[in-house]
Amino acid sequence: MTVDPIFADPTLADLYDTFSLHRRDFDFYLPFLMAADSVLDVGCGTGELLRSARQAGHTGRLCGLDPAAAMLDLARQKQTDVEWILGDLSALDRRHQFDLVVMTGHAFQVFIDDDQLRHALATIRSLLNGHGRFAFETRNPLVRAWERWTPEHAVEVVHNGRTVRMAHQVETPITGDLVSFTHTFTSPGWDQPQVSRSTLRFLDRGALAAFLSDAGVAIEQQFGDWEHQPFTPTSPEIITIARPARPA
């Protein structure tokens, strides 16, 4: 799991939550957190989901993992009674297991090659206790969301009295299930734009199921959107709740 270099900048890390207000995925995942005594949030960013759980009365173990130091600095400032760990999945002690491992914000899609994904899933499987759950989402490739990632669909927010614009530009042609793109941040008064490049993997439902099965993880539930609707070919998301597979 790699850090988007754009969020290594403390100024832009501070913008992350402003661009991510009113996240429906947090509303979906929060009940799962509240029902679990111990939770690991992989790619936790500034820690908003774990902070919401603590503020809602969660009294158990909450642990956030992220490779971006600037993001975790903000998380630590806002919530001191959560374990914040800098790094990727390899930074975790596998002797400590969790009732729930969660990945939000389509973080699952950063595992772009087979070996990387297999290693991540094997590690997550090792971190789940016997009744643990793995909850995450990936965009449904049939919907081709990347076709709307254009400068014409740029988003603007006001942060500390200053307007900041974020625009995406997809690199073409698309290669297989990988989509590479840039996002560019601009604001009046900045000397120059801030630009980063990312690549995400858009696994279809069948390929996702195969990777999970190979890792010893069984799909328990799948949804197509944040309103808990069943998955269909036109659903925007493949939201998966999985558990350790029982031995044959």
pLDDT in the model for residue 7: 61
| pLDDT digit string (tens) for the chain, length 248 residues | 554 555 666 667 777 777 776 789 999 999 999 999 999 999 999 999 999 999 999 999 999 999 989 999 999 999 999 999 999 998 898 778 999 999 999 999 999 999 999 999 999 999 999 899 999 999 999 999 999 999 999 989 887 788 999 999 999 999 899 999 998 999 998 889 988 889 999 999 999 999 999 999 999 999 999 999 999 999 999 999 999 997 64
First-last CA distance in the chain: 31
DSSP 37: S
Buried b (16+ CB within 10 A) or exposed e, 136-165: bbbbbbebebbeebeeeeeeebeeeeeebe
Cβ proximity of 110 and 89 under 8 Å: no
* CA gap 68, 89 in Å, rounded: 13
Give the gyration radius of the chain's Cα atoms: 18
pLDDT in the model for residue 248: 47
How many other C-beta atoms are found inside a 10 Å radius of the C-beta of residue 116?
Answer: 14
* CA gap 10, 139 in Å, rounded: 28
Cβ proximity of 111 and 201 under 8 Å: yes
pTM: 0.93
Angle at 225 between CA 7 and CA 155, to 5 degrees: 40
